[in-house]
């Protein structure tokens, strides 16, 4: 399976998991010149930007640690873009959903917004 297909499958898996946790999908693959946010969800009035990371295993530190400072900067800029245009007064949070093989790890407030 190619890398793009694996990433798409991981995002779908993350989406289904988060929906089972009661979150509602607002947008998928929100793209700006700053970067992309995989999932934008809503939970009890809070807007949640979700970065989905997949690793087959934890051999090189796992999926959660793969969110580099550069990726965090891009996520923050992209989230700010969305907030300014669509939700200027809404509470927000940035989460990471790390998938390692069959394990899902939902890291809430992974990046300070």
Domain ranges of the chain: 3-111
- pTM recorded for the entire structure: 0.87
CA–CA dist 94, 42 (Å, integer): 11
**CB environment 17-33: b (16+ within 10 A), e (fewer):** ebeeeebeebeeebeee
What tokens does 3 get?
């890398």
| Helix/strand/coil for 113 | coil
Q: Which pLDDT score, from 0 to 100, does residue 63 have? A: 46
What residue ranges of the chain have pLDDT lower than 70? Answer: 1, 55-68, 113
The fold of 3-111 is Trna Endonuclease; Chain: A, domain 1 (3.40.1350)
User: If we measure between CA atoms, which residue out of 47, 24, 30, 37 comes closest to residue 97?
Assistant: 37
CA–CA dist 75, 111 (Å, integer): 9
Q: What is the DSSP letter of 23?
A: -
Q: Which pLDDT score, from 0 to 100, does residue 2 have? A: 73
Q: Which pLDDT score, from 0 to 100, does residue 60 have? A: 55
């Amino acid at each position: 399976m190619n890398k793009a297909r694996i990433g798409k499958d991981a995002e779908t898996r993350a989406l289904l998991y988060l929906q089972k946790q009661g979150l509602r999908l607002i947008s998928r693959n929100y793209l700006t010149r700053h970067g992309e946010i995989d999932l934008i969800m809503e939970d009890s009035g809070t807007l949640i930007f979700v970065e989905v990371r997949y690793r087959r295993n934890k051999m090189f530190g796992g999926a959660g640690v793969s969110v580099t400072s550069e990726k965090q900067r891009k996520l923050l800029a992209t989230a700010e873009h969305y907030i300014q245009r669509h939700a200027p007064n809404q509470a927000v949070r940035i989460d990471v959903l790390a998938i390692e093989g069959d394990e899902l790890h939902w890291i809430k407030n992974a990046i300070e917004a």
